[in-house]
Structure 1
Amino acid sequence: MTQATRPNFLKHSFNVLNRVRQTASVAGLSALRVAKGEKPDAKLLKETFEQLGTTYIKIGQFIASTPSLFPREYVLAFQDCLDQTTPISYRYVEKVLRAELERDGETLENLFKSIDPTPLASASIAQVHAAILQDGREVVLKVQKPEVETIMQTDLGVLHGVTKLMELMMPSMKFASIAPIIDEIRLRMLAETDFIAEAQNIRDFQQFLSMTGNTKVVAPEVVSELTTKRVLTMSRLHGVSMVNEHAMRQYCDDPAQVMADTLNTWFASLMLCNSFHADLHAGNLMLLNDGRIGFLDFGIVGKLAPESWRACMEMMQALQDNDFEGMAHHMIDMGMTHERSQVDAAQLATDLQRMVGAVVTDDKAYTAGKPFNSKDQADELNKIMLEIVETGKRHGLHFPRDFALLTKQMLYFDRFMRTLAPGMDMFRDSRVSLIHDKS
């Protein structure tokens, strides 16, 4: 080890030890709650994860969107695991910007006319600030928070060590296959800390828009010379949230058509783009002042084989039509089993029909006499998807790797549609095209 690298090594080691100490402290307090008689359930685990911060919040979100791996009670408990965190000081943000962008004699003062010290948003991995370049362009700066990658690597390493303890505390959580699950989480989460990769995701999407002649949708332009692994600089888009129908009508005549254009673009990207945007919630989708639709934040993307997507859409269509035999065959076609011949399609269809009937009966009993509520409708769809996964697992079926991301995005769209186009059926509306051929 050289004299120059020794301070960095010592700092890294200190940060790792400090993170282990923090984790042990929070875990110890949770264990004390159990020792005092509190039930070791999904609610306690969620609260513990939220106290532990970045990595565990992301794991909570992974649990919520991966019903094929985790028990129902944990999937439901983590649905509200929020990614908004306390903002970090602008002093730290400026320090990162100087370390990442000041080179070849350039300074922040040379590069920017101004940087707003008040963040536009603050999440677990990064904070976003508005700025103006010297040439007058408005941009946003996505700046990584302190020691994010070290914290994640340390936390994910510690998780392997505490697996047995969690099995004892939470008997209903099955951690027998924790290694591949942790590997999957590590892959997804560390990808979010590489803003160069996110910049490429944006460029891939823009290439897809150009190739398909889509002028209704836009993504921010990446300022490549001011983008590094820890700082992403993009053009700033101005508009309104697409869950605010009243605000949208300032810039469009028909919010339902905007919703249809959004769906068509996203569905086409599943087949024609290198990856699909897997996190289009209310904060990442807006109607711009010029009437175009802005897709934001490409940190979380997924990939799905075209044949799997076709089977998925046909399965959902069969569900809408109460065609349970068709639904069973499409589930098998989705590539969710290695031994197709061993799956009893007729029995699977019978189980699916029984499952859907039970879910609908429960939902009617729950909502009887209550006013329409979009959250209830989204929860109903989520409940059905959970039951489909559990029913499939009993027949030896396994979902494609990114099916969970796709399912989560469908839930987001369901919420948008309840607001903007309550009468629209994405599977039957003539304005929406679910399948796009590469030809």
Structure 2
Amino acid sequence: MLKKPTRKSPFAIAKKSVSTSLNVLGRIQKTASVAGLSALRVATGEKMDAELLKESFEQMGVTYIKLGQFIASTPSIFPKDYVLAFQDCLDATTPVPFNEILAVLREELGQERGLGDIFEHIDPKPLASASIAQVHRATLIGGRQVALKVQKPNVGTVIHTDLSVLHGGFWLAEKLVPSMKAANLAPILDEIRSRMMMETDFLAESRHIERFLGFLKQTGNTKITAPTVHQALTTKRVLTMDLLVGKSLIDETLGLAKDEASARQTMSDVLDTWFLSLMMTGEFHADLHAGNLMMLDDGRIAFLDFGLVGQIEPKSLQACFALVQSLQVNDYQGMAKAMVEIGMTHDKVSIDRLGEDLHRMLGKVGKDSQPESLNAMMLELSEIGKRHGIHFPRDFALLLKQLLYFDRFMVTLAPEMELFEGERLKMVG
């Protein structure tokens, strides 16, 4: 049985404040240490390139891992070699000890009552561990099975400290190198801060899930589901959801790829739901890969992990759909027109020249189902856009990557399907 915590004394509160200050100092020291070692490697002759920077970022942890992922998903801003290097910036990290997870749970849920009054059992072994949080299976009093997404200790302090250091570094760089002002780094840092704060706010993720479940209820959709959130047991640092058990859609033991009719129906259900949700709510699940699509034992399909949700303006949305449609039929002029409509530019763009560039790019990259090919395609689209003076909106890369992922996902499960057909074609027309 888990022990009931005692109320914190003024001494305990003061002790926590001192601990936070020490965490800040320790974080600055670690950042300086890793940066110093990287500088030493450069001084001894190693080339300071994107790969070395990626290694340093992964050593420095959560903020820099997320920064690396931001670089990888924003090819319209960052240089090509850095975007490529950070495509595989790893976010699967070593779990923290279970007693540290329990400490967070006690702080977030166990102030008024003990954890033993809430949970019958919490599995010490995590189901998954990433830089910001790890997930544990648990049983509520009464027997209900739940998944606990628990933010790792001091993540907020680490991110705040790291972003402050980065802000100071950007400010110093602009002072020492006046030409750096032209790079306009402040908005980039603001965007990074905004995305990180979103990912560390599990209340925001719970709202995304609730909106999606509300959409399913409104449309009478019983084929798709998402985890039910236990709001009374959810805070900014703890997300409590019903535990869903099933298999990935591409799990060989599920056998979906061998049953053409079932595979086609499954993909239609997923795509119809995702497109209609986007059209009705203005939001889209931006990380719907195979690991986040699960076939449950009762035949329903679950959308998981709403930590990355994008938004896009209706005009850009229609143009993005047109871009993917043109891509499917090798209509390079159509792609060029769509890119101009999606982007923001003050210059007149030559559709013919842009179409020629796109033709060359697609011939070089090719169209296969490998993730690296998708990354290369995304990167080249942004590179060509930049060359023609096109600047894409904030979540364009997220949306296009998800659409391309769907397109290639169908190659595995339902190769005869079209991304835009039936009701979806009417939606985007």
Q: TM-score, normalised by structure 1?
A: 0.87
Alignment of 1:316-335 (within 5 A): 316-334=324-342
> What is aligned with 2:350?
344
In structure 2, distance between residues paired with 1:209 and 1:254: 21
Please report how far the alpha carbon of residue 323 of structure 1 lies from its aligned counterpart in structure 2 after TM superposition: 2.3
Alignment of 1:11-410 (within 5 A): 11-104=19-112, 106-163=113-170, 176-249=183-256, 254-334=262-342, 336-339=343-346, 342-360=348-366, 374-375=369-370, 378-410=371-403
Deviation readout 1:237-273 (Å, 9 max, x if unpaired) = 1100122143254998622321222122112222112
Aligned residue type for 2:296: L
Aligned residue type for 2:351: A
> Does the aligned pair in 2 maintain the 1:268–1:434 contact within 8 Å?
no
- Identity across aligned pairs (percent)? 57
In structure 1, distance between residues paired with 2:240 and 2:257: 29
Per the alignment, do residues 250 and 259 of structure 1 end up closer, same or farther by CA in structure 2, a change over 3 Å counting? closer
> Does the aligned pair in 1 maintain the 2:135–2:149 contact within 8 Å?
yes
Please report how far the alpha carbon of residue 294 of structure 1 lies from its aligned counterpart in structure 2 after TM superposition: 0.6
* Unaligned 5+ runs, structure 1: 168-172, 364-372
Per the alignment, do residues 284 and 358 of structure 1 end up closer, same or farther by CA in structure 2, a change over 3 Å counting? closer
In structure 1, distance between residues paired with 2:32 and 2:198: 26
In structure 2, distance between residues paired with 1:411 and 1:53: 29
Please report how far the alpha carbon of residue 325 of structure 1 lies from its aligned counterpart in structure 2 after TM superposition: 2.4
> What is aligned with 1:366?
none
Deviation readout 1:130-154 (Å, 9 max, x if unpaired) = 1111122111111110111111111
Task: Please provide the CA RMSD for this pair.
Answer: 2.7
Please report how far the alpha carbon of residue 347 of structure 1 lies from its aligned counterpart in structure 2 after TM superposition: 3.0
Please report how far the alpha carbon of residue 8 of structure 1 lies from its aligned counterpart in structure 2 after TM superposition: 3.8
In structure 1, distance between residues paired with 2:257 and 2:138: 26
* Unaligned 5+ runs, structure 2: 1-9, 175-179
Per the alignment, do residues 112 and 434 of structure 1 end up closer, same or farther by CA in structure 2, a change over 3 Å counting? farther
> Does the aligned pair in 2 maintain the 1:310–1:435 contact within 8 Å?
no
> Does the aligned pair in 2 maintain the 1:220–1:296 contact within 8 Å?
yes
> Does the aligned pair in 2 maintain the 1:266–1:276 contact within 8 Å?
yes
Please report how far the alpha carbon of residue 432 of structure 1 lies from its aligned counterpart in structure 2 after TM superposition: 6.8
Aligned residue type for 1:123: A
Please report how far the alpha carbon of residue 338 of structure 1 lies from its aligned counterpart in structure 2 after TM superposition: 4.4
Please report how far the alpha carbon of residue 116 of structure 1 lies from its aligned counterpart in structure 2 after TM superposition: 1.1
Q: TM-score, normalised by structure 2?
A: 0.89
Please report how far the alpha carbon of residue 43 of structure 1 lies from its aligned counterpart in structure 2 after TM superposition: 1.0
Deviation readout 1:157-208 (Å, 9 max, x if unpaired) = 21233348999xxxxx999232211111110111111111111111011111
In structure 2, distance between residues paired with 1:43 and 1:31: 14
In structure 2, distance between residues paired with 1:45 and 1:212: 47
In structure 2, distance between residues paired with 1:176 and 1:435: 42
Deviation readout 1:60-91 (Å, 9 max, x if unpaired) = 11111111111111111111112111011111
> Does the aligned pair in 2 maintain the 1:241–1:248 contact within 8 Å?
no
> Does the aligned pair in 1 maintain the 2:318–2:428 contact within 8 Å?
no
Please report how far the alpha carbon of residue 217 of structure 1 lies from its aligned counterpart in structure 2 after TM superposition: 0.6
Aligned residue type for 1:404: A
Per the alignment, do residues 332 and 52 of structure 1 end up closer, same or farther by CA in structure 2, a change over 3 Å counting? same
> What is aligned with 2:424?
433
> Does the aligned pair in 1 maintain the 2:282–2:312 contact within 8 Å?
no
Aligned residue type for 1:211: Q
Classify the secondary structure of the residue corresponding to 1:114: strand
In structure 2, distance between residues paired with 1:158 and 1:274: 35
Classify the secondary structure of the residue corresponding to 2:295: strand
